Amino acid sequence: MTVGAFVIVALTLVCNACSDKIETPTSATTTATTAILFSGTLQPRGVRFYSYTLTTSGAVSALLASVERNGVPAGNALEIGIGAPAGTDCAVTMSANGPASLIPQLRHDAAAGTYCVRVADIEGLAAPMTFTIRLIHP
Amino acid sequence: MIHRRFSFGAVLLALATGVGCNGDTPTSPTATATTATAAAPAYTEEWIDTLSVGGTRFYSFTVTQYGTVNVALTSVSGQFVPGTVTVGLGIGTPAAETCSPTSSISTQSGTGPQLTGAYNPGVYCVIIRDVGNLFAAARFSITVAYP
């Protein structure tokens, strides 16, 4: 090897060593989630809400897990919504009206901050019902 | 001659090494002391509601910039409720089905803010509660001023 060739090889090695190449991680990234169960009794035409704080941004989903009267499942539809606490209520930005479900009725990406999930009877229950909302957030 | 060519290569190598790694040279940090100035209240909301015996009520509001929040219990009234009755008043954050206070006092109604403080952007709440002095439901008025 000539001295010139040696210099070229050395320069190549030096440049590679100092490059700002970003290493792509190969390991999978997992995000921990937290589940909140919000249960209570909802009066006919009543409204209740539950406030929670996200410390990191991420996907939030909510579902009406159950509607019962005296321990017996009921098919009544209730409106659930997600929003931010405002005044004496929860100002919802998205909502869905339906019976209890196994799949999320609401899903959105949220930044860190304080939010609320709200349940309301907009169809007129014949009697008070117990409900459970399952909220999953980062 | 070979010795001279080798010396030239060594010099070139040294220069290239210095140039190649130049981007990693740290620069001296510039000291920029920043003191946040609390913005004055720009919005005012009046909350009029009823507090039941042994009850609790809360009201949420959003602060959009770092600044001063003033809370004033301006009146408490009602049948069998003296205007000088002492109730609990607090500022905090909405949590679950209530307001979790970070600052609270027992106070009578008055004109000046009974609670004040500087808060970062976020959602906060004012909470009022009966500390055991009410014998009947009380009508109250609270003014919240925030930036």
Confidence of residue A106 (pLDDT cuts 50, 70, 90): very high
pLDDT over 60 at B114, yes or no: yes
Q: Tokens 């990191």 map to which residue? A: A56
pLDDT over 70 at B4, yes or no: no
Residue A27 lies in a domain: no
Please answer whether residues A44 and A81 qualify as being in contact, where contact means their C-beta atoms are separated by less than 8 angstroms: no
Residue A44 lies in a domain: yes
Residue A48 lies in a domain: yes
Which domain, by its residues, includes A104? 34-137
pLDDT over 70 at A116, yes or no: yes
Residue A5 lies in a domain: no
Beta strands in chain B (DSSP E): 43-51, 56-63, 67-77, 87-95, 98-107, 115-119, 122-129, 138-146
Residue A52 lies in a domain: yes
Picking from B16, B49, B94, the nearest residue to A116 by CB comes out as B94
Report the pLDDT value the prediction gives residue B26, as an integer from 0 to 100.
52
CA dist B73 and B128 (Å) reads: 9
State the average pLDDT over residues B84-113.
97
Q: B145: exposed, middle or buried (C-beta count within 10 Å: 0-12, 13-18, 19+)?
A: buried
Report the pLDDT value the prediction gives residue B47, as an integer from 0 to 100.
98
- Cβ contact, residue pair B23, A84, below 8 Å: no
- Give the CATH number of the domain where residue A93 resides: 2.60.120.380
* CB-based contact, B43 to chain A, within 8 Å: no
First to last CA, chain B: 78
| Chain A hits for B125, Cβ within 8 Å | 85
Confidence of residue B79 (pLDDT cuts 50, 70, 90): very high
pLDDT over 50 at B20, yes or no: no
Residue A97 lies in a domain: yes
Picking from B13, B24, B49, the nearest residue to A11 by CB comes out as B13
pLDDT over 60 at A108, yes or no: yes
Structure-token pair, residue A50: 């539950």
CA dist A114 and B55 (Å) reads: 24
Which pLDDT tens digit goes with each residue over A38-89?
999 999 999 999 999 999 999 999 999 999 999 999 999 999 999 999 999 9
Report the pLDDT value the prediction gives residue B36, as an integer from 0 to 100.
83
Least confident of A112-121, B22-31, B74-83: B22-31
Greater model confidence, A5 or B112:
B112
CA dist A23 and A29 (Å) reads: 15
pLDDT over 60 at A13, yes or no: no
Domains in chain B, CATH or no CATH each: 43-146 (2.60.120.380)
Share of chain A above pLDDT 70, in %: 78
Number of domains making up chain A:
1
Residue A114 lies in a domain: yes
Q: Considering chain A, what is the average pLDDT of its residues?
A: 87
With a cut of 0.90, is the ipTM above it? no
Residue A94 lies in a domain: yes
Confidence of residue B19 (pLDDT cuts 50, 70, 90): very low
Please answer whether residues A56 and A138 qualify as being in contact, where contact means their C-beta atoms are separated by less than 8 angstroms: yes
pLDDT over 80 at B13, yes or no: no
| Chain B hits for A20, Cβ within 8 Å | 23
